[in-house]
Structure 1
Amino acid sequence: MNKNNPKWQTKWPERLSYGLSDAADNLVFQVMTTYLLFFYTDIFGLRPGDAAILFLMARIADVIESPIVGLMIDHTQSRFGKSRPFFLWFALPYAIFAVLVFITPDFGYTGKLIWSYVTYLGLGFLYSTVNLPITSVLPTMTQNPQELTLLGVIRQFCGSAVQIIVAVFTLPLVAWLGQGDQRRGFLYTMIGFAVISLGLILNTFFHIRERFSLKAIAHASLRKTLQAAGKNRPWLILSAIIFLFWLVTAIKNQTTIYFFKYSWHNEQLVALANGFTFSSLIGVLLIPRLSSRYGHRLTMRSGIIVALSGQLLLALGVYSHALSVIFAATLLNSIGQGLIVGLVSIMLADTIRYGVTLGVQAEGFLASSSDFGVNLGLGLGGLITAGLFSLSGYQANASQNSATLQMITLNYVWLPLVLYILLLILIHFYPEKQLTQAISSQPNSVG
């Protein structure tokens, strides 16, 4: 298909509805990544070690669930398509479980632990059912590369905007709605977020369309799907990048509140520091111009370098005890983060289209690497953070010993620095030229 003569051109109502699907998920997701560990340890009363095991078990479950949901999509046959029905079927259960996670029943410790397992594991599965289709549906909406980039940018702009809103306003909302009771504040805040999320997910279902599918290869067997995935080198490398990105994101985000609460003795700085993450939107908005000029691989590499530079500046701010430097570092790092995460769904769509050249249209399974990487990265991030805190003798709502303060700095500064370097190495091996040539040689790959 000629790039300049696309078979379809989506309209703005559909584009915005698609983008708002990520905003819907992030209303809940960002609270989980940033505040759930804090909620479990300092409000609900779980021991850090038990919270770490919970996060590990949840991620083991996600290792199984993400590809299962992907295969469910690939084998769905309905008048709405393959991915789109999942927004309708799972929006309400997702919203309900988002609220249940933040309900604090008056159980004994064992009862609390069981409640946490049931609600958090349930939410993890349901998150995959409403988030994975956002990625898998993209390459079926249009085959115009420029429009795929536009849709990916709109999605990430909406998602990142909500991430920033949640990061900045969650604690003030908790304080206002709870009137000094953080348990009640978190619950009421999450009820509001869940209701909005439900409405936005259903809006996506009603306004987007799946248009491009090859019936002959749209429902391949598991064996054939796995064989094609193993040959899809761009997808394998991108999957590893997604995992490392969300690992570094989880470690940093979950440590931020501990850093300001215990190292700076000022929990109120969390919302202010998170406010500087608005710059991720700058990174997202730079993607169309940079990727059209330099390609996706070099654009993502630039994002990683910018994020790494911000992390180095953060180390300087932490050790010089300079708050202004920490805020400047957060702003710079977030620009890079925006470039990276904004390209993920776009590049995944490319690897899905490349998979079609290998004889399999398995958008569900291939897109599952996104949720797989997100969930595994977040879970291991929570496990690492909670585990290190537990080993160092962390005590909730108390002055921390020197070992715990060192662990907080390790998680906030040094582990992310190492992970950014690994990301830089991985993106070097991404075979964009091979992928582009293969897709170009298949003018009727989908449609």
Structure 2
Amino acid sequence: MNQPWQTKWPERISYGLSDAADNLVFQMMTTYLLFFYTDVYGLSASAAAILFVVARLADVIESLIIGIMIDHTHSRFGKSRPFFLWYALPYVIFAVLTFVTPNFSGNGKLIWAYITYLGLGFFYTAVNLPITSILPTLSKNEHELTLLGVIRQFFGSAVQIIVAVFTLPLVSFFGKGNQQSGFLYTIILFGLISLALIWNTFFQVKERFSQPEQAHQPLKDVWKMLKKNKQWFIISIVILLYWLTTAIKNQTTIYYFKYLQNNENLVPLVNGFTFAALIGVVLIVRTSKKIGKKQTMLTGIAVATIGQLILALGTILNQLAVIFTGTFINSIGNGLIIGLVSIMIADTIRYGMTMGIQAEGILASTDDFGVNVGLGFGGLITAGLFHLSGYTANHAQNLATQHMITLNYAWLPLILYVIMFITLLFYNERQLLAAVNQEA
């Protein structure tokens, strides 16, 4: 059933900029925080690994808590929208505090890292989860929801690339040789921009479609719906695998070029090739309309796998041109994957509504759950393997550590892409859309 389009471009752009705002800080976390902790802040790789695990275990609980909070929010602004207003400022404050390097003892610095990073994880969830949960309430038009999801990911991916490319030059510019000051002033800049964009989203977007009789159901009824929502479970696993892959690869990039290529300045260059993710994101609207969202995401995973294989061959041949080519192709595939995540989660939320349960908070929490667990275990795997191989910060690495860096950068992501592809094959898009369209 065709539905009219409800949103206008100012609202669409503002919705998309919410993800851009979050990614200004998020990309700093995924790409540079492990490096900051080990090579700038002074934590050991093992201490950083344990911190990431603890933080991610906490985030698993926090994702569910925020999801429940959204589903039980009663306000004149809606269920999801108030979270942009309430939590933007503490999110930015903790982002800045995470990159502060106080002159404490070893234990004092570790405690500071735990407090700030755990706080940042909670408030990140509080401002990021509503971006996904609010989507199905903006429109009932399937193609409009796809467009909104694509706009969101376009801005999110664009900012990810900007952060990946310009962070180290900004650190150098602000720090003038002092990376502690450089990272701090860089995150302050990103944080202020993020705050303005999140609040702009609050003022510009509107929750239009909510069914009061379905919107605040008891947890036991929500749980019954989740057990029947097989497609939600499958896409949740795919999201987890994607972020695990992303965390392992992104966190290792700077180590690979610093210690194996002996040129840390190549990091902004190789990250520049990830702009190709925007190509994948832009292709989603037409491709998903033609072959469906599941096939589009499967295509993205296949393309990402091919690119990762080329990158891996580049590490064997020690050819930068091959590594850059693989990064470019891999990024196109990643754009197709990540651009569809919030859209397909929105589909499972609408599918849940056909069962009489509107639980967008809890169902959307799977996105942040996947992000948090993927990042946590990605950090654990990376830092843990480095520790076991004898990694020593700011020194030439032994042969075992060099192999571990290459394993994380090239080969583990390749294996995870294959598992991701196989998992998505079990997603039944036809059954889901038939139920949603019948309800509409």
The TM-score by the shorter chain falls in which range? over 0.9
CA-CA distance at 1:211 after TM superposition = 0.4
Equivalent in 248, 255, 259 of residue 256 of structure 2: 259
1:206 alignment partner in structure 2: 203
Amino acid at match of 1:62: D
Q: Would you say 1:36 and 2:33 are equivalent positions?
A: yes
Q: Match of 1:217, SS?
A: helix
**Per-residue CA distance 1:197-217 (angstroms, 9 max, x = gap):** 000000000000000011111
Amino acid at match of 1:49: S
Q: Would you say 1:312 and 2:285 are equivalent positions?
A: no
Q: Match of 1:107, SS?
A: coil
Amino acid at match of 1:157: F
CA-CA distance at 1:427 after TM superposition = 1.0
CA-CA distance at 1:266 after TM superposition = 0.4
Aligned length: 440
Amino acid at match of 1:427: L
1:346 alignment partner in structure 2: 343
Amino acid at match of 1:395: T
CA-CA distance at 1:25 after TM superposition = 0.1
Q: CA RMSD in A?
A: 0.5
Q: Would you say 1:423 and 2:420 are equivalent positions?
A: yes
Structure 1, unaligned runs of 5 or more: none
Q: Match of 2:271, SS?
A: helix
The equivalences for 1:257-296 within 5 A come to: 257-296=254-293
**Per-residue CA distance 1:225-252 (angstroms, 9 max, x = gap):** 1111111011000000000000000000
The equivalences for 1:9-48 within 5 A come to: 9-48=6-45
Equivalent in 133, 138, 154 of residue 135 of structure 2: 138
Amino acid at match of 1:224: D
Equivalent in 96, 100, 108 of residue 99 of structure 1: 96
CA-CA distance at 1:12 after TM superposition = 0.2
Amino acid at match of 1:129: A
The equivalences for 1:303-382 within 5 A come to: 303-382=300-379
For 1:33 and 1:230, locate their aligned partners in 2 and report how far apart those are by CA, in whole Å.
Answer: 32
Q: Match of 1:353, SS?
A: helix
Amino acid at match of 2:215: A
Amino acid at match of 1:435: L
For 2:391 and 2:355, locate their aligned partners in 1 and report how far apart those are by CA, in whole Å.
Answer: 51
2:57 alignment partner in structure 1: 60
For 2:408 and 2:318, locate their aligned partners in 1 and report how far apart those are by CA, in whole Å.
Answer: 17
Q: Match of 2:263, SS?
A: coil
For 1:364 and 1:229, locate their aligned partners in 2 and report how far apart those are by CA, in whole Å.
Answer: 12
2:380 alignment partner in structure 1: 383
Q: Would you say 1:121 and 2:114 are equivalent positions?
A: no
**Per-residue CA distance 1:276-325 (angstroms, 9 max, x = gap):** 00000000000001000000000000000000000110111110011001
Amino acid at match of 2:366: S
Q: What TM-score do you get using the length of structure 1 for normalisation?
A: 0.98
Amino acid at match of 2:264: E
Q: Would you say 1:236 and 2:233 are equivalent positions?
A: yes
Q: Match of 2:215, SS?
A: coil
CA-CA distance at 1:13 after TM superposition = 0.2
Where in structure 1 do 4 or more consecutive aligned residues deviate above 6 Å?
none
Equivalent in 157, 160, 166 of residue 160 of structure 1: 157
Amino acid at match of 2:292: G
Amino acid at match of 2:378: G
Q: Would you say 1:403 and 2:393 are equivalent positions?
A: no
**Per-residue CA distance 1:253-285 (angstroms, 9 max, x = gap):** 000000000010000000000000000000000
**Per-residue CA distance 1:384-409 (angstroms, 9 max, x = gap):** 00000000000000000000000001
Amino acid at match of 1:24: A
For 1:424 and 1:146, locate their aligned partners in 2 and report how far apart those are by CA, in whole Å.
Answer: 25
For 1:141 and 1:399, locate their aligned partners in 2 and report how far apart those are by CA, in whole Å.
Answer: 53
CA-CA distance at 1:423 after TM superposition = 0.6
Amino acid at match of 2:188: I
For 1:226 and 1:71, locate their aligned partners in 2 and report how far apart those are by CA, in whole Å.
Answer: 12
1:412 alignment partner in structure 2: 409
Amino acid at match of 2:60: V
For 1:331 and 1:58, locate their aligned partners in 2 and report how far apart those are by CA, in whole Å.
Answer: 32
For 1:417 and 1:102, locate their aligned partners in 2 and report how far apart those are by CA, in whole Å.
Answer: 31
Amino acid at match of 2:304: A
For 1:63 and 1:215, locate their aligned partners in 2 and report how far apart those are by CA, in whole Å.
Answer: 28
Q: Would you say 1:75 and 2:72 are equivalent positions?
A: yes
Structure 2, unaligned runs of 5 or more: none
**Per-residue CA distance 1:32-79 (angstroms, 9 max, x = gap):** 000000000000000000000000000110111101100000000000
For 1:192 and 1:54, locate their aligned partners in 2 and report how far apart those are by CA, in whole Å.
Answer: 26
For 1:243 and 1:359, locate their aligned partners in 2 and report how far apart those are by CA, in whole Å.
Answer: 27
2:190 alignment partner in structure 1: 193
Equivalent in 177, 188, 192 of residue 174 of structure 2: 177
